[in-house]
Amino acid sequence: MIKVEGLTKRYARTIAVDNISFEVDKGQIVGFLGPNGAGKTTTMRVLTCFLPPTEGSASVGGFDVLEQPMEVKKRIGYLPETPPLYPEMEVVEYLRFVGKLKGISNADIARRVAEVTERCALGDVRSRLIGKLSKGFRQRVGLAQAIIHNPDVLILDEPTSGLDPKQIIEIRELLRSLAGEHTIILSTHILSEVEHTCERVIIIDRGKLVAIDSVANLTNRLRGAEAVAVEVEAAGGHPDPSDVQQRLEQVPGVSRVVMKDSRDARLLFEVESLQGRHVRADVARSVVGAGWNLNELRSVGLSLEEVFLQLTAAEPKEKEAEPATEGGQKQ
Amino acid sequence: MKNIFLICQKELKSYFASPIAYAVMAIFGLIFGWVFFNATRDFIRFSFQSQMMGGGGATNVNDQIIRPLLGFAGTIALFLVPMITMRLFAEEKRTGTIELLLTSPVKDIEIILGKWLGAVALFVCVLLMSMLNIALLFAWGKPDLKPVLVAYLGLLLQGATLLAIGALISTMTRNQIIAGIATFFASLLLWLLSWSTAFDSSWLPQLLNYMSIVTHFENFGKGVLDSKDVVFYLSMIFLSLFLTSRSLESLRWRA
């Protein structure tokens, strides 16, 4: 449904997207994952025909974004990072306007507006001014706007950013209910977001493609690679931090030890394991064996940055290429 | 065509949903009404006096009230146009709604024509309001209708030209205030150009004079419909809207 080949987008001095290729099949929900400034929005803007690519090509439903933008635009529903709303319009008035703009005929417009207000639970605010709505409702109006013409492809830029947890769950449920009939690409910088809603993940960092995989495969690849917070206390007197560090590093399977904090006699370390290794038991044994007290041992989830480290460490080639992308960092 | 109408309708609606439409109409109505009142009062005084002196001077409503009044209306329009056009594109760029328009299956030129026609429609509302005053003259006097209609056509063309220039400037910034100020000075400049050629007949002042937007209104004001002036306004509109479409497209390459 979506095909991107060798896509590069260069701004005056920076490379926002650097030679990215991927394909998305019909009916899939794909998460577009990357830290802020990774080039997610730029890629989406190319797909929606808002920005032309510098190099490479992108097509939606077999239509090229440069050659047949009208056909592409008809098939795409797009929710930018800030929903494109007119605050002086009422919700229904706005949806009618967007619907007609997207080419819905006068005969169908009322039915479509009723359908999307129902679907996005906007019934209570249908005749309120958009400018007076809360952030969560605005996001839903934005989503309603994107699906009003029943597009084949939905492109959503950070659909849950800035929402409270309850609203996030509502939006996620809405997205899952939309899957199947629509092909969805959604961008996010939150890992759990992808786990909850997507079937496949495309990870990009500083404009470069890091990984494309199914969510299940990706979690498999990362399974076991865990980070553990360890708090150590000496029974009497102060333990020597470098001593403890050394001892922790010697535990088999540990890849990295960082001291996070020290308070009185207590020292807090973060221990990261190699992939596929469970180190918690060994860490505990080692600490206790040295005669120190083990106050706390808890696993901390891998942050997105650590996922990147893991992924790039697994593919050394990618790591070598990293210094070359520094130009794109600002973007 | 359908899209142009849709966007035009949306623009006009949002003018009336915000204070802009009311502010523009109120300012114009007040100034125009005041000038109309003064002109009419002076005219009545003058005609009484000339009757008492023994019917000497010929009095003509067209020459003594309507022509100076509508000429003045053209000048006020210079100041109103920036208020109308400043938000056209600048606001959509600031709030990001431009992304909605540019990713919808609508041609750029449809967006531009729709927005410009929306602005022109508001300007027509302003002109319609001034017709109330003129209607009073028709109710109690017998002015010539044709020169009035020609003058209004001139006002409309002049306004539409300035609105097209304002639309162009509004695509260049995301700040409404800057768009408004720049449009104001552009209109002022086009107005001042007519001052460049008092008695000089060499080519440069003549050219500048030709470029002035006010020079071309003079004939309309006299009730003379000259195709030369119509062509000038239409070509200025075409040029401005063409540049607007270029500017809008450059947005895609720069943004």
Looking at residue B54, its pLDDT comes to 67
Phi-psi region of B11 (alpha: psi -120 to 50; beta: other; left: phi over 0): alpha
Whether the pLDDT of residue B40 is over 70: the answer is yes
Query: B87 to chain A nearest CA, in Å?
Result: 13
- What secondary structure does DSSP assign to B83-133, as a single string? HHHTTTTHHHHHHSHHHHHHTSS--HHHHHHHHHHHHHHHHHHHHHHHHHH
Mean pLDDT of B179-187: 93
Whole-number Å distance between alpha carbons of A114 and A145: 12
Task: Give the number of other CB atoms < 10 A from CB of residue B4.
Answer: 20
- The sign of the dihedral angle between the CA atoms of B138, B141, B145, B151 is negative
Question: Are the C-beta atoms of A312 and A260 separated by less than 8 Å?
Answer: no
Looking at residue A219, its pLDDT comes to 67
Give the position of tokens 């009230």: B65
Whether the pLDDT of residue B7 is over 70: the answer is yes
Q: Which two tokens stand for residue A176?
A: 């899952």
Residue A224: helix, strand or coil by DSSP? coil
Residues of B in contact with A76 (CB under 8 A): 103
Residue A313's contacts (CB-CB under 8 Å, 6 or more residues apart) are: A319
Q: Give the tens place of pLDDT for each residue, A89-133.
A: 999 999 999 999 999 999 999 999 999 999 888 889 989 999 999
Chosen from A14, A41, A50 to mutate, greatest number of chain B CBs within 10 A: A50
The verdict on B6 touching A (C-beta cutoff 8 Å) is: yes
Mean pLDDT of B113-140: 92
- What secondary structure does DSSP assign to A3-34, as a single string? EEEEEEEE-SS-EEEEEEEEEE-TT-EEEEE-
The verdict on A109 touching B (C-beta cutoff 8 Å) is: no
Residue A315's contacts (CB-CB under 8 Å, 6 or more residues apart) are: none
Q: Is B243 exposed, middle or buried (0-12, 13-18, 19+ CB in 10 A)?
A: middle
Question: Are the C-beta atoms of A301 and A307 separated by less than 8 Å?
Answer: no
Residues of B in contact with A51 (CB under 8 A): 252-253, 255
CA-nearest of A148, A210, A198, A151 to A28 is: A198
Looking at residue B124, its pLDDT comes to 95
Structure ipTM:
0.87
Whether the pLDDT of residue B247 is over 60: the answer is yes
Q: Of B13, B96, B104, which has the smallest distance from its Cβ to A101's Cβ?
A: B104
What is the Cα B115 distance to its own chain's centre?
15
Mean pLDDT of B185-197: 82
For domain A2-221, give the CATH superfamily.
P-loop containing nucleotide triphosphate hydrolases (3.40.50.300)
Whole-number Å distance between alpha carbons of B92 and A88: 13
CA-nearest of B62, B79, B76 to B130 is: B76
Residues of B in contact with A103 (CB under 8 A): 105
Looking at residue B198, its pLDDT comes to 59
Residue B69: helix, strand or coil by DSSP? helix
Question: Are the C-beta atoms of A45 and A32 separated by less than 8 Å?
Answer: no
Characterize the bridge pairing of strands A227-234 and A266-273: antiparallel
Which H or E run contains A155? Answer: strand A153-157
Looking at residue A316, its pLDDT comes to 45
Q: pTM of the prediction?
A: 0.81
Whole-number Å distance between alpha carbons of A18 and A12: 14
> What architecture does CATH give domain A226-301?
2-Layer Sandwich (3.30)
> Can you give the residue range of the structural domain that contains B217?
2-254
Whole-number Å distance between alpha carbons of A204 and A16: 11
- Is the CB of B252 less than 8 angstroms away from the CB of A73? no
Whole-number Å distance between alpha carbons of A17 and A9: 5
Q: For residue A79, give the DSSP letter.
A: E
Residues of A in contact with B18 (CB under 8 A): 88
Mean pLDDT of B204-208: 76
Q: Which of the pair, B50 or A92, is modelled with greater confidence?
A: A92
Count: domains in chain B: 1
Looking at residue A44, its pLDDT comes to 92
Residues of B in contact with A48 (CB under 8 A): 103
Residue B243's contacts (CB-CB under 8 Å, 6 or more residues apart) are: B168
- Is the CB of B105 less than 8 angstroms away from the CB of A70? yes
The CATH 3.30.70.3190 portion of chain A extends over 226-301
Low pLDDT (below 70) residues in chain A = 219-226, 235-239, 275-276, 301-331
Characterize the bridge pairing of strands A2-10 and A15-24: antiparallel
Whole-number Å distance between alpha carbons of A29 and A159: 13
The CATH 3.40.50.300 portion of chain A extends over 2-221
